[in-house]
Amino acid sequence: MITIVIANQKGGVGKTTTAVTLAHGLALQGKGVLLVDLDPQGQVSTFLGLPQESGVFDLLVTRQPLAAVIRSTAIPDHDRNGLLVIPGNSRTATAQIVLAAEGFKLDCLARALGAVRTDYIIFDTSPSVGLLQEAALYAADWLIAPCAVDYAATEGLTGVLTTLQAVKEQASNCQLLAVLPTFYDELTRESATTLRQLTYSLGDAVWEPIHRATILRECAAEGLTVFEKAPCRATQEYAVVVEKVLSYET
């Protein structure tokens, strides 16, 4: 089993889009995937056309069993075989407060999900420094950091990389799999310059960029992934991401 955390401390960089699309792409390739929504905005459910629920709170605070908090993602007319979700909502923020009050342990997520037997677990995280983001980095094997190609998002990226290094010093095995440039627009100098800066610092850890695409926003509005909405450039670009992730499987 491989656990992947999707994180960047800047908001609006495509974390949830990447988490949902990658999870569904892996499921379409025959993998069993559990998607865990650690963002109190709870938008993993929204992006999949499902109701928000307090699954993460119930798992970590009220200690409900996994079977009680894992949900199917099935919707009519679409193939989501193998894709499961632990949804979140605003109570996820409360969970962080309770965990802190109880004496937060970095391995709380790893322990809570220890019995999961899917091929992949994917964490979508909130755009902030927080206990759950640290716990997700601790529990994960790989970090994928979506980064909009602008200055502010790059600053958010430095935040998550700094946190990653700090967590690794606590005996975490999490490795940087990729920085995924998002909202790329080759017509703007800002996009090109930021992408060049990222590549200069991080080399081949920077993957091929995902272009800015209206269809990705339409997908969120309709509760569909880009693999369900319509074939387009974004479909192809995220298919590349899925294939690259699969290429790192051992």
Which residue ranges make up the site for other proteins (CB under 8 A)?
A: 25, 28-29, 77, 79, 141-142, 151, 154-155, 157-158, 161-162, 164-165, 168, 175-177, 193, 197-198, 200-203, 205, 227-228, 230-233, 235-236, 239-240, 242-244, 247-250
Is the Cβ–Cβ distance between 107 and 114 less than 8 Å?
A: no
Closest CA relative to residue 39, chosen from 63, 61, 22, 56: 56
Reading across the β-sheet that carries 71-72, which strands appear in turn?
71-72, 83-86, 33-37, 120-124, 2-6, 142-148, 175-182
For residue 55, what are its two tokens?
């699954």
Say how far apart CA 58 and CA 130 lie, in whole Å.
18
Q: Which residue, 131 or 195, has its beta carbon nearer to other proteins?
A: 195
CB of 184 to other proteins, least distance (A): 17
In sequence order, the β-bridge partners of residue 109 are none
Is the Cβ–Cβ distance between 81 and 63 less than 8 Å?
A: no
Say how far apart CA 143 and CA 75 lie, in whole Å.
29
CB of 244 to other proteins, least distance (A): 8
CB of 168 to other proteins, least distance (A): 7
Q: Which residue, 102 or 190, has its beta carbon nearer to other proteins?
A: 190
CB of 10 to other proteins, least distance (A): 10
Q: Which residue, 30 or 103, has its beta carbon nearer to other proteins?
A: 30
Q: Which residue, 191 or 235, has its beta carbon nearer to other proteins?
A: 235
CB of 248 to other proteins, least distance (A): 5
Q: Which residue, 196 or 217, has its beta carbon nearer to other proteins?
A: 196
Say how far apart CA 155 and CA 11 lie, in whole Å.
11
